[in-house]
Structure 1
Amino acid sequence: MGMVWDWISKGVTHLVGTAKDAAAGIVGKFLAAFGLTTITFNSVLPSLKSFVLQYVGAIPGPMLDFLSYLGVGTVMSMILSALTVRMTWKVFIVPKTVADQISGGGS
């Protein structure tokens, strides 16, 4: 009977450990995505949109109306958002050792 209980306790320990690791990964990804989204949409994306809008001002009125009718503004916003998120993933999500080197050797 002792051998069966050992199997059960090892199985439960393995199951709890796996669940804990999975939950930690999910929570970590959620927090990273939330922080990245906050940084992207509050600081990076408005600057990028204003940069693009300064060049859109040179487009004549009827052409701008036609592009607006086609939904090009929405498409460009979606593309710029995706590119911004992709760029910030590469910039902000770095290993701790690299981040320590960038900041001058951390504590």
Structure 2
Amino acid sequence: MLTGKQKRHLRSLAHHLTPIFQVGKGGVNDNLIRHIEEAIEVRELIKVSVLTNNDDDPREIGAELAGKSGCELVQVIGKTIVLYKESVDHKEIVLPR
């Protein structure tokens, strides 16, 4: 579980990132989850955008993505979701205490 200070730090790091995945009208599926798990192991911090043709609530999608992929939900702002998971092999982000 991330503290408020850690989430604030991750939000500042994620500000300059561009979304690398998109959730469309098909919603969340196993293929998307697998790709997120692979990408987050390398990057630790990623953004996912929810397309306008998806009618689901972005907060619910963010919670579902975080739960199924084992990530921490850092932020949902508008239709952009920020996810974090500490990498085993490619650790670069140092979280404040």
Question: Which protein is bigger by CA-based radius of gyration?
Answer: 1
Q: TM-score, normalised by structure 2?
A: 0.28
Q: TM-score, normalised by structure 1?
A: 0.26
Q: Counting strand residues as a fraction of each chain, which structure ranks higher?
A: 2
Q: Counting helix residues as a fraction of each chain, which structure ranks higher?
A: 1
